[in-house]
A and B are shown apart, each in its own frame.
Chain A
């Protein structure tokens, strides 16, 4: 595996040759640091994950977990002056971190597209939705005005907006929240991107509208085979929409696996905490929730070793010096992995204990 291959992007040959028939999107040791007035914020710390074509990866975390920062890094949307990015992001055989601005401009909206959280502020109030959708198509595909307009109408129909030929000339403020988000999705998919990043696409929406939008994303993935990264804080959304899950905390991946694995057989104390924090429609009543104690860590000076240790109830089962001293690696390399010093057997046992305790209230 030691071939030398010449590419336009300079990078280590080792990483390059390991690509081959590799995953569609590969993030390797991504680190993002922001220089702010208060100091250096370590937003993302050596993050690695893969994404296969046609699948959906749910990235879950709370504020400060680095999930949004990661997605912005894939698209290269950070301010180069205040941001320090290390590591590699491979989209098939194109490396993104070191790519030139022209290359990125060519890729954005074309091969990689993004849907943002708040459709009201993310759409330009000064241009019709037709124009906003069409301009992306014209830019990347060189289409004429008329072709682009036809395409825009087609996209609006695809995302379920009624009377698209009339609505195409409306402004964003003429639409309701759910419709606006559909417009954003139409705009993102107009050039048939291979990768769609949806950053909290339904957080600002009502639950019935959210259900419609999530269904739409699933349908579209079926039709077009687009890979999707879905960023959210809601594990229920992930359970319903994603194939794989990545749980992030303090800029790192703490658990990774299929939705089944992570949500039904969780292995990281933070994942346990998240699952215990969220009541469901069927959870036992009159039993207090089991949240994660404490508050999210400071990213200016993250805790040493495992960033979760100040809030973890199981530190003493490993030996505290371990958790404060050594950063746990995300192991094993493939399949269901977690970043915790606890031995696997121990994790399984604790998970069972917690499960029993949580169900305890049920008659």
Chain B
């Protein structure tokens, strides 16, 4: 059994909230990520979906070690990099690269495209055979840009092209894992498709693993082999693509899928409309964090945190964290919530 490329266990990140009148002290913390377990195998794409405030971006940054976890472990190719020092991380960093969401702010406007892509090589003292410049031109071609544009500046390119530059930069060090944080959300639809195709092509050609963070469920489905759904810092469901999209068990996953507007919806597709607002991550609900908006919630949900386990009827690797899971189908079920559903308790509506 080959060991996974990336293994994350109990990953937690709390950001302190400072307050106090005269003396600043820590009055609470934002529970951005709580107890996340995740694995990514070599060459695999794992999609991480969820809405704002779910902690997916923070998880991505933790994996790339741009942030240090409050608790939990991160293992990359068997090595524990959770609290690794800068020196220890040096040989690891080239192997984990990141692509960011905003093609306009993630490229330094004062650097030429060539120097942006060359940057990682210079910082890590990597000298590819044939020289750095040659490699940069190769990379430009791989991502579908003209190698002649080596000396141009970011502002001379369109949004989609800049995103390709960001991808070329991420490829420069031949990483084993790329964390892509909403890489196509800021792009026009037709450009999105071009970039998604490019990422797939790169994955197939170079065997790069991806942690694909996005909120667009259809795009994630298209590109990932496995998908994890996050809500308020926790993973509520994780499994292979088919299980998540065809046989989801968690109510939130159901709500997410039913909310996606479709041109050709499945006949008999259920229609769930969540009520209420996202609770504050500074004071997340006890037990199951989704319970304040869940139409199936009962007392047990407030008392016990539901464990992420494989339910009866689920495929291997399909885990769900729910005390009262739904049936494994996306068709409308009895007891599904509609927009005139449960009264939402007041606590869920604050802020």
Contact = CB atoms under 8 A, between A and B. Distances in A.
Do A and B share a direct contact in the complex (Cβ within 8 angstroms)? Answer: yes
A62 B194 CA distance: 14
Interface string A233-259: 111110111000000000000000000
Interface stretch (B23-31, B65-73, B75-83, B257-265): B257-265
A276 B258 CA distance: 22
B32 to A, nearest CB: 17
Contact of B51 (A207, A212, A277): A207
Interface in B216-241: 217-219, 221-222, 241
Contact of B273 (A162, A212, A239, A274): A212
B351 A236 contact: no
Contacts of A280: 218, 262-264
Contacts of A292: 190, 193
Nearest to B255: A208
Nearest to A234: B261
A62 B262 contact: no
Contacts of B351: 174, 176
Interface in B139-174: 158, 160-161
Interface residues on B, range: 35 or more
Given A236-B260, A279-B219, A289 B188 contact: no
Interface string B193-213: 110110011000000000000
A296 interface: yes
A251 to B, nearest CB: 15
A169 B59 CA distance: 38
In this complex, the member of B241, B256, B263 whose beta carbon has the largest number of chain A beta carbons within 10 angstroms is B263
B190 A281 contact: no
In this complex, the member of B201, B218, B260, B261 whose beta carbon has the largest number of chain A beta carbons within 10 angstroms is B261
A212 B190 contact: no
B62 to A, nearest CB: 22
A179 B51 contact: no
Contacts of B197: 288-289, 291
Contacts, number: 122
B274 A233 contact: no
B190 A273 contact: yes
Interface in A142-173: 162-163
B312 interface: no
A35 B190 CA distance: 28
Contacts of A129: none
A279 B188 contact: no
Contact of A281 (B215, B260, B277, B339): B260
Contacts of B264: 239, 280, 282
Contact of A239 (B263, B277, B344): B263
B51 A274 contact: no
Interface residues of A, number: 47
Given A207-B215, A207-B256, A291-B197, A236 B241 contact: no
A163 B266 CA distance: 36
B311 interface: no
Contacts of A296: 158, 188
In this complex, the member of B192, B200, B217, B266 whose beta carbon has the largest number of chain A beta carbons within 10 angstroms is B192
Interface in B273-292: 273-275, 277-278
B54 to A, nearest CB: 9
Given A210-B261, A215-B273, A290-B193, A281 B200 contact: no
Contacts of A263: 263
CB-based closest 6 A-B pairs: A291-B193, A236-B261, A277-B193, A206-B51, A211-B259, A62-B188
Given A208-B273, A278-B218, A291-B191, 18 more contacts: A62-B190, A178-B277, A206-B51, A207-B215, A207-B259, A207-B260, A208-B259, A240-B262, A279-B218, A279-B219, A281-B221, A281-B245, A281-B262, A285-B241, A289-B196, A293-B194, A295-B191, A296-B158
16 contacts: A62-B188, A62-B189, A162-B344, A207-B51, A210-B259, A211-B259, A233-B189, A239-B261, A239-B264, A283-B218, A288-B201, A291-B190, A291-B197, A295-B191, A296-B158, A296-B188
Interface of B: 51-52, 158, 160-161, 188-194, 196-197, 200-201, 215, 217-219, 221-222, 241, 245, 255-264, 266, 273-275, 277-278, 339, 344, 349, 351
